[in-house]
Structure formats: C-alpha cells, structure tokens
A and B are shown apart, each in its own frame.
Chain A
Amino acid sequence: MFIINCPYCGERDQQEFKAGGEAHIERPKQPTELSDDEWAEYLFMRKNIKGVQFERWNHAHGCRKWFNMVRDTSNDEIKLIYKMGEKPPVE
C-alpha cells in the first residue's frame, strides 16, 4: 500500500490506480517497413528494470485520467509525477 499523488485529484491510495506499463514508447513512424523482430521489439519488449523507471498510470477508480510516474521499482519510492504530454525529466 502506498499513496499516489494524482495530478488531478490529489493524494489517493494505490488501490484506486492501475499501472499502465512503461512510458514514452514511441510508435514507429513507418510500421510497414519494419522487420518482424523490430516490430516485436516495439510491441512486446519492455525494460522492467530494478531501479528508477518511467511508467504510465491510470486513476481508474477516480478521475480516470492517465499520467506519468517516475518510480524506483526496488523500493516503490515515487520520484516524480507529471501529466501526459509533458516532457519527461532528464534521466
């Protein structure tokens, strides 16, 4: 259990949120020109690192808005939360 600060609603319990996977994955501009391996790389492969990770989260049981989170996966410490469309902080 931990508290997440929704950029729209304020501090809420983790129970109200759903994790949406890694953030800032860009869709290839010309998908038809990619090989199967490259397409699979974009579609399925995620970093899943132990440490600071950029993630998407959704306030599913509140305002239902998506936002980005920088979280340390080793200790669940939330470093930063910012709205969709905002530039990620420099790593």
Chain B
Amino acid sequence: MLNFNSALKKENQYNDLTIKEISPVMKLIVRGKKREFFTNIGKNLNMILPTEANTSSTNDIISAIWLSPDEWLIFTNNKVDENTNKYELEENLFHSVSKHNLGAVVNVTDQFVMLELDGKNIYELFSTGSPFDFSKFKKKQGSTTQTLLNNIDVIIRHKSENLVNLFVRRSFSEHLSSWINDSASRL
C-alpha cells in the first residue's frame, strides 16, 4: 500500500526559517563496488556517482548522495506521479544492475521523508541538536552528511546557500518534525 501521509501537515514558518515536506519524490538506494556497476549506473542516470566522501552530484532530473564507499541515495529533483511507486528508472537499474548481480537497487521512496529547510537560521537549528560541525558543510554547495539530529539518523544535503534537503526515516519523521517545531520556535 502506498503511504504518502505527510509528516508535516503544512509548511511551517519560523524566524528566518521555513520547513516543508517535498512529496512524492522517488528515492532509491543503490549499492555496488564492481566497475560494471558504475558503468551501468552511469549509463542509466546519465551521471557519474559521486565517489568523494560527503558529496553529491546532480543533473536536470535526479541527484545522487554519497552515503558510504559503496552506497548512494538517488532521488528525483522534481515531484513524481503520486498514484504509483513504480518507476522507469528503478526498472532500468534493476534490470541492468540487480539482475546481473553487480549490486543492489532498493526503492526507498516510502521509507524516507524528504524535508526542505530554507532560511538563514538552518544551521542555528542544527546546532541545537546535532554533534556535526557544519562550518565547512555550509560553505560548499552539494556537500552532504549523515549524522544525528536530536538523536535521530538523518541525511542532510546542502542544495544551495541557506537551502538544505533533509532525509529522515518515515517512522521518525513525526518525532523529528515536532522537535524541529519546538526548537525552531525558540530561534
């Protein structure tokens, strides 16, 4: 069953900070190490997966975030059709990667919730609940990190200045958004 219930019921605005959920967005996790894996992924995505730690790459349609030396999160830049969670890209990757035992392709569209945080106070908010040092992160566009926010695992990507994407597991999303709501209201 499709689950597109929103963790954030509406766009929340605080002092120099806006938070909203971007949904539905296709999200895939791909894993692999072999050279053929990179070749096939590259052909399907029209993009090379980022191999440098804590970085991401993007084209017109999709973006890829480095998660570990053999794991990436791929997601669409724009919203997709909400009546289905079958995607052409997933099918193509499955046939060219998983079927040949080159790696794994997993659809995590419903597993992760994608939030967009916009405003000057993003890093003020993060500093109240994360052990990560954002000083270099906020200067470099496209940088990413997996860290903790209020003890919840999150993936954060620097999209542009004062604009970040945050991915959190759906079961934690309501808890995280209520913490954000509480913490951001005091900024």
Contact = CB atoms under 8 A, between A and B. Distances in A.
A43 B186 CA distance: 51
A65 B131 contact: no
Given A16-B147, A62-B147, A8 B69 contact: yes
Nearest to B68: A63
Interface residues of A, number: 13
Q: At the interface, is chain B mostly helix, strand, loop or mixed? A: strand
A61 B53 contact: no
B137 to A, nearest CB: 11
- Chain B interface size, as a band, is 10 to 19
A62 B146 contact: yes
20 contacts: A8-B53, A8-B69, A9-B53, A9-B54, A9-B146, A10-B53, A10-B54, A11-B133, A12-B147, A15-B148, A16-B131, A16-B147, A61-B146, A61-B148, A61-B153, A62-B147, A63-B68, A64-B68, A65-B68, A65-B69
Given A10-B54, A12-B132, A13-B132, A61 B69 contact: no
A62 B154 CA distance: 9
A63 B67 contact: yes
Interface in A1-53: 8-13, 15-16
A64 B148 CA distance: 13
Given A12-B132, A13-B132, A61 B147 contact: yes
A63 B54 CA distance: 10
Contacts of B54: 9-10
Given A9-B54, A16-B148, A63-B53, 14 more contacts: A8-B68, A9-B145, A10-B53, A10-B54, A12-B132, A13-B132, A15-B131, A15-B148, A16-B131, A61-B147, A61-B153, A62-B145, A63-B67, A63-B146
B126 to A, nearest CB: 13
A65 B69 CA distance: 9
Contacts of A61: 146-148, 153
